[in-house]
Amino acid sequence: MRSELYIDGKWVKPIKGGTCIVTNPATEETIQTISAATAEDVDVAVKAARRAFDKDGWPKLSGAQRAKYLRAIAAGIRARQAEIARLEVLDNGKPFPEADWDIADAAGCFDFYAGLAEQLDNNTEETISLPDDRFTSKAVKEPIGVAGAIIPWNYPLLMAAWKVAPALAAGCTVVLKPAELTSLTALELAAVADEAGLPAGVLNIVTGSGSAAGQAIIDHRQVDKLAFTGSGPVGSKIMAAAARDIKRVSLELGGKSPFVVFDDADIEEAVEWIMFGIFWNQGQVCSATSRVLVHEAIYDRLLTRLIEATNKIKIGNGLEDGVLLGPLVSKRQYEQVTAAIEGARKAGATVACGGTRPEGFDKGYYLRPTVLTDVPLDSDAWIEEIFGPVVCVKAFKTEEEAIELANDSRFGLAAAVMSKDDERAERVASAFRAGIVWINCSQPTFTEAPWGGYKESGIGRELGRWGLENYLETKQITKYVTASPWGWYMR
């Protein structure tokens, strides 16, 4: 396992010698001590990225040339997929099959943006039609510059790929700060990129705290673009700080996503997708469909089946066979989620199942998956993101009521609807005020499709061609082509 900072193509110790501890959330044991960067280290990393962009020619390479590096990184990840997935489990706690899926998706992300990099070679210019034939004009796409990327702990390598791959494809250079809790696979990404021969300074990875390393990236005046995934309050601070230098920003923030289930839905299928929508990754998912609205005609039957199925989920260490729910990522996260459950109970909600530590687990941040009912609409449990395996279930009477309840949130990341009536499903999908909508499913995520939210769930879109555009500027070039002089002043 790597432990040093990766700056300018080298593994280096932090200038001030700081370290931070990496803990296995399944056992509460220390698994690694890694470097903790400070503003001094970030300055070195940003200057390396600046040089690689301004002087060393990374943005001047053709898209096809950059694509070769991206495909080499994808191949390097696949060559070590099982090893990297195991690190993800040790670091994050998620079940191994989920981690393995994530690592495969990360490799696929680099391959996808390699393809878009190649397409840039033929699509960087657009001719503009003008009303004055004395001029020609074109719009040109160019990389923004140095991108500072700050990623969360719930999908460590995948979130890195979502930012690094499109940035490199566009011709940007990157300084990446992974979450302090889950930095191990980001460091392995640096090793893979190094083995792929990525030029020095193009990708720099600095580990450490958000208050030190993260803040230094945000504040650095030579960073042109900030890309952040995480909580709303932190996103707000990043946006405010970016305003000082008019930095470009893209923010993917929190959610409290609704899942509307109509009375014609198959109950077994609905329960499966409800569980997938909230218990995947221990519910530590920004798009988790944590507010489930069920038509009153099937509410009792669906709730009974949901509780039965939830109580059967196998909990344990993510490296054990058959485990479908691992521990929460940290002691702090465990305490926050259990406090939210207790707060819901005090507000009048019913804990229909779960909400406690499972029997036989004296170590590790384990929590039984939880179903809340009778949740007051003005309570934190209904309004705020809990970010754990906790779902609120409520009955509704009419389609209009369901839409109103679904949209009554300051968030707007995702939403889902389940119905056999295609016309109704499409109508409700259109009515949702959310950036991602699923019909008859929850949480499928494809690199090819745009990802991002409305309202307080963020700004901009990741993935697909939209993710590439996050890292491109548009330049107008207009040329005077007539042989005769302009003759306004000089007649």
- Active site members: 252, 286
Of 164, 160, 143, the closest CA to residue 91 belongs to: 160
Please, where are the H alpha helices in 223-322? 232-245, 267-279, 299-311
Question: Given the DSSP bridges, would you call strands 390-396 and 411-412 parallel, antiparallel or unpaired?
Answer: unpaired
Whole-angstrom Cα distance, residue 343 to residue 341? 5
Question: Do 287 and 413 touch, CB atoms closer than 8 A?
Answer: yes
Whole-angstrom Cα distance, residue 216 to residue 210? 9
Whole-angstrom Cα distance, residue 438 to residue 429? 8
Tokens 């990157």 sit at which residue? 174
Q: Which amino acid is at 395?
A: A
At 135 the three-state DSSP class reads strand
Q: Which amino acid is at 24?
A: N
Quote helix, strand, coil % in the chain, to nearest 5: 40, 20, 35
Residue 347's H or E segment, with its range, is: helix 331-347
Tokens 């191994």 sit at which residue? 96
Return the bridge partners of 186, or none: none
At 20 the three-state DSSP class reads strand
Write out the E strands in 200-290.
203-205, 225-229, 248-252, 258-261
Question: Given the DSSP bridges, would you call strands 248-252 and 225-229 parallel, antiparallel or unpaired?
Answer: parallel
Count of positions (residues) in the chain: 491
At 277 the three-state DSSP class reads helix
Whole-angstrom Cα distance, residue 184 to residue 202? 20
Contacts 24+ apart (CB under 8 A), 452-455: 452/250, 452/252, 452/413, 453/252, 453/253, 453/255, 453/411, 453/412, 453/413, 453/414, 454/412, 454/413, 455/409, 455/410, 455/411, 455/412
Question: Any idea what DSSP says for residue 237?
Answer: H
